[in-house]
Chain A
Amino acid sequence: MQNLKKINNSFKIGLDDRSKYLRRLVLRGLRNSKRGHLGSSFSMIEILRVLYDNIMHYNIKNPLSKNRDRLVVSPGWASLPLYAILADKGFIKKSELDYFMDLNSKLGGCIERGVKGVEATTGSCGHGLPIAVGIAKALKLSKSNQKVFVILGDGEHGEGTIWEAAISIAKNKLDNLIILVDNNKIQCSGSIKEISSIENFSAKWNSFGLNAIEINGHDISELKKTLKNIPIKKNYASVIICHTVMCKGIKKYENSPDYHWKGGFSDQELFSLEKSLEDYK
């Protein structure tokens, strides 16, 4: 069974100033592009925030430092939240967000290597995890203690490569790999339950020989506590099913597939999104 309490709490929990600030950076990019994957951008903000604020080792001056932890964000279409946190941390300039998706902007609608701080280009479903498996294997071969974090969308679990990778992760005992599933329960055409018929992600991952737990993906303290104690089980890769809410922060759009992707935002709509975010409790 799904952890209903965690799911309910993911709806109930409020957003603090920092979470709202990061979402405003996302909206800053959206103001230029007038289109984007708003839903997952807002569901994964807290996961990214905790990784960059509290967990990952990185060096802004030397983004390719050997001593960095690696992060692969597999739902590449959620490029704005990653670019927002990279801008917040100083990997890129915040003003670059004002040119999001422009002809000559490095910041496109999907995550691309070449943007400072990005490990891998993603955007086609199911590609991020196998790349992360290779990075984790390489770090094991090099006897490195650094960790590899990978964020997966829940909808992309329909891809065979996710499960091919799962078999490989267990076989290679990649306990330096941490999978964070942004389980916002919505994909492009409807709910995950309706379209993909997957309800219990942790049971699936556990059955492949990884160690999965479920948390509230918007709860900063729960994210911190969980991520500070990994691997959850020695010799096992960790899977953290983060119960999140599609479009978290915009009350009237939460949990709707209509905002997986949306184009043609008017200035007025964007203004109302910002207002809605400010009023979010």
Chain B
Amino acid sequence: MKNATIKKIIEISRSNKKIVFLSVDQSTGFDNELRKVLNDRFIIEPISEANVIGMASGLASEGYIPFVFNHATFNSRRCYEQILLDSSLQNFPIKLISMGAGFATSHLGPTHTSVDDVALMRQIPNMNILVPSNAEEVSELIPQVIKSKNSFYIRLTKFGIPKYGKIPSKKNNANSKVGKASIVHKNHKYQSNDILIISNGTLTPIAIQVSENLSQKVKISVLNMTTVKPLDGNALIKNVKKSKKILICEEHSLIGGLGSACIEYLVDQGKNYLAKPIHRVGVPDKFILKHGDQEGILDYLKMNVLDIEKRIKKIIL
């Protein structure tokens, strides 16, 4: 996903001379291409996250479109006040490319894992939050990000193509729109679902695989909620209405992420949508003091295909 994101930015930067790419001393894997195409608009800054966000805001104030490339954890809580005050408050839009989010760099332990970033970004007015699940989707979204006058937090939860689960079909990815959620998998031909899975990022391919595996037993639709903010309330309500039960899955803390956003939206409608059982898969409120790769941590937290299948059977049967 990181590669697809940067390739798309380079492609658009050939004609869009307002794009500036700031790397906070992180290797993009495309440094030479960035230098060649963006020239002095590709800037590798010293390790100074807070300064770089202020700097990006200053560039935005002069009409540039700054992308800031960094690890998710350093691109969110490390420079939170700068994102809030220097960029958002003053309407100086910046685009944050936050790689290695969730447990993508779990081998480095808790300093590098980022499961609170969506919660932090949701608090920031004018901030759009994208949690894409695959490279094709991100390629669809980047041109929209560049065109938009808003700030964006683009949360990339893994490198390359998903290793687990199943990528949404090309047809579904082609419809990726900022602010729009869509059903990326449905394992039955009926109107209503036994269970609606709402997911994004790493968990969408996992949810699709779960849906396929249970196609003979449980009627499932997977609603891919790539944009956490602004939340596609219409799609949420429309699909919740059609479903008996709901399961929200995210590679993020259970506090403040996609699940919280959906539940808050449903409550705020004042129509008793929460009368339906809503279950959640996510990271509990504790430090995950483990190492190993992303897959191992997802297994440990029962966020893999098999465990989610078990969870659904328990909920439904």
Contact = CB atoms under 8 A, between A and B. Distances in A.
Given A137-B58, A167-B51, 15 more contacts: A113-B90, A119-B61, A120-B86, A127-B54, A130-B54, A131-B61, A133-B58, A138-B61, A138-B64, A141-B20, A161-B51, A161-B54, A168-B46, A171-B45, A172-B43
A133 B55 contact: yes
Binding site secondary structure of chain A: helix
Nearest to B87: A131
B55 A130 contact: yes
A134 B85 contact: no
Given A119-B61, A121-B90, A124-B85, A171 B55 contact: no
20 contacts: A121-B85, A130-B50, A130-B51, A130-B53, A130-B57, A130-B58, A130-B86, A131-B55, A131-B58, A133-B51, A133-B55, A134-B56, A134-B59, A141-B41, A142-B62, A161-B50, A165-B51, A168-B46, A168-B48, A168-B52
A126 B59 CA distance: 17
Interface in A104-134: 113, 119-121, 124, 126-127, 129-134
Given A167-B46, A168-B45, A168-B46, A134 B82 contact: no
Nearest to A118: B90
B89 interface: yes
Contact of A164 (B50, B62, B86, B90): B50
Nearest to A130: B54
Contact of B48 (A121, A135, A139, A164): A164
Interface of B: 20, 40-41, 43, 45-46, 48, 50-64, 66, 81-82, 85-86, 89-90
Nearest first, the 10 A-B pairs at minimum CB distance are A134-B58, A130-B54, A138-B62, A164-B48, A164-B51, A134-B55, A135-B58, A131-B58, A134-B59, A130-B51
A165 B49 CA distance: 10
A172 to B, nearest CB: 8
Interface of A: 113, 119-121, 124, 126-127, 129-139, 141-142, 160-161, 164-165, 167-168, 171-172
Contacts of B53: 130
A58 to B, nearest CB: 16
A124 B59 CA distance: 20
A113 B41 CA distance: 26
B61 A134 contact: yes
B51 A132 contact: no
Contacts of A171: 45-46
A132 B48 contact: no
Contacts of B20: 141
A49 to B, nearest CB: 25
Contacts of A142: 62
B247 to A, nearest CB: 41
Contacts of A164: 46, 48, 50-51
B41 A131 contact: no
Contacts of A160: 50
A266 B57 CA distance: 40
A113 B88 CA distance: 12
A147 B41 CA distance: 20
A127 B85 contact: yes
Contacts of B89: 121
Contact of A127 (B45, B61, B63, B82): B82
A142 to B, nearest CB: 7
Contacts of A120: 58, 61, 86, 90
